[in-house]
Amino acid sequence: MTVIIHVLRWMLTIVIAFICGKLVSKIKLPSILGWLVAGMLLGPFACNLLPQELLDTNVYKGIIHVLECTVGLLIGTELVWRKIKSCGKALLVTTLTQSLGTFIVVSISFCIVFASYGIPLYLAFVFGGIALATAPAPALSIVQEFKTDGSVTRTLIPMAALDDIVGVIVFFTTITIVARHLSGGGLPVYMIPVMIVLPLLIGLLFGIPTGFVLRKIQLKSGIVITLVIGILLTSIVGNLCNTYLMPIPLLNFMLMGMAFSGAFSNLVSEEKLVEIINDFQVIQAFAMVVVIINLGAPLDFHAILGAGLFTAVYIIMRAVGKYFGARAGAKMTNMPMTVQKYLGFTLLPHSGVSLGFTGIAASMLSTADSQSAAVVTGTIAAAAIINEIIAVIMAKKGFEWAGELNEK
């Protein structure tokens, strides 16, 4: 009986969030804002329609992993070599400048602030490690909703894949060094490349045979069934690896979805790929809504009341690092002027990644330095809510200013 109640509550949450998205879109804001706020207000810290008891179940987590893998197809289907080979160097340079630029700007800013408050300076680098990552789902939902197209869109989508990889490397390197400095513990160093390579290998393992099968299928139903089977197999193997191989469950399922779809996208013709994307669009749209609700559900809106100097510094300096880092990289590599001016705005969304990294940082710091763990948790919890609302609006404005927004 409890299971049925949980399922009904979850379904009702999705319906309400979908309606909220439609209402928000009426005032020319992206639907994702409605989904995100609905997830927060219907989650365990407010109305509790989506209770923590449900969020903690393995079945719920498993379904979310499948849907995250599905959302990853939005990025992977753009990772076609013939499309990106001409701007590969520019993409790599700009990804590094905006990611590492954010890490440096946030870390230095908090070093200055923490020095005056007597807080250990190593914590500044933890904040820098959390700050550099970008959550791709919010910007991708805007791309999907408004059918954006142009230089910024074509740069952002493949950059999301590279950004995920850089974010994981820098964050886990930083937190491992800090944890070992404090207590000699932390994540084994060899696990850092494993967290990057394993999701990619799992995705490729099923993406390559899926590509050969898709070449031969003509019916829409056959295409959809093939993709669903491939995504389920990818997610199941990912879950098994997460449970039995990893010391803590850290594998990125969106990265698996990117690798899975990137593999089959390079094995089919351009016309076939367009057909595949169109046939799978409804399922992808549903997955996006549920994934965004899941990003909003863990956010405690009460944290806004506790927002102070640290939260303000974090939000502002992260935005400075992202915007000017992207602008510098784009200028260095002679990317189009619209990319130089507006790409940075589309890189501001952050919540899901930041909360995941914060939980890991807090757990690794809690034994040796519980006060620092509390500073990290409190600051990022407030920043995640405030930043995400601002970031989604600014991401849409970035596409609009670049002239890539197709208003409905």
Comparing 36 with 212, which gets the higher pLDDT?
A: 212
| pLDDT tops 70 at residue 210 | yes
Q: What percent of the chain has pLDDT over 90?
A: 47
Q: Does residue 85 carry a pLDDT above 80?
A: no
- Comparing CA positions, the residue from 297, 187, 200, 296 lying closest to residue 256 is 200
- Is the pLDDT assigned to residue 121 strictly greater than 70? yes
- Per-residue pLDDT tens digits for 362-386: 767 766 677 777 788 778 878 877 8
pLDDT value at position 406? 78
How many angstroms separate the CA atoms of 313 and 374, rounded?
17
Contact indicator for 265, 76 with CB cutoff of 8 Å = yes
What is the rounded average pLDDT for all residues in the chain? 87
Mean pLDDT of 205-229: 94
Q: Note the pLDDT tens digit of each residue in 233-263.
A: 999 999 999 888 887 777 889 889 989 999 9
Query: 10 Å Cβ neighbour count for 121?
Result: 12
pLDDT, position 128: 94
What tokens were used for 326?
């992207």
Helix (H, G, I), strand (E, B) or coil at 251: coil
Distance of CA 340 to the CA centre of its chain: 22
What are the DSSP calls for 109-150, one per residue? Answer: HHHHHHHHHT--THHHHHHHHHHT---HHHHHHHHHHHT--S
* Residue 385: predicted pLDDT: 79
Query: Do the beta carbons of residue 268 and residue 214 sit within 8 Å?
Result: yes
Q: Furthest-apart CA pair in the chain: how many Å?
A: 66
Structure-model confidence comparison of residues 239 and 1, the more confident one:
239
Tell me the pLDDT tens digit for each residue of 316-349.
999 999 999 999 999 999 999 999 999 999 999 8
284-290 average pLDDT score: 92
| pLDDT value, residue 48 | 92
The conformation of residue 217, written as its DSSP 8-state character, comes to -
Where along the chain do its domains lie? 59-401
- The length of the chain in residues reads 408
Cβ–Cβ under 8 Å, residues 202 and 187: no
Most confident of 130-134, 225-229, 304-308: 225-229
Residue 184 pLDDT > 90: no
pLDDT per position as a tens digit, 138-179: 888 888 888 898 999 989 888 887 887 888 888 888 887 887
pLDDT-derived band at 183, boundaries 50, 70, 90? low
Separation between Cα atoms, residue 58 and residue 65, nearest integer Å? 10
CATH 1.20.1530.20 given to domain 59-401? yes
Report CA torsion sign: 284, 287, 289, 295: negative
Q: Supply the pLDDT for residue 151.
A: 92
* DSSP secondary structure letters along 340-357: HHHHHHHT---HHHHHHH
Least confident of 127-131, 140-144, 268-272: 140-144
265 versus 381: which is more confidently predicted? Answer: 265
d(CA 105, CA 94): 16
Q: What is the pLDDT of residue 402?
A: 93
- Model pTM? 0.81
pLDDT level of residue 192 (50, 70, 90 thresholds) = confident
The answer to whether residue 186 scores a pLDDT higher than 70 is no
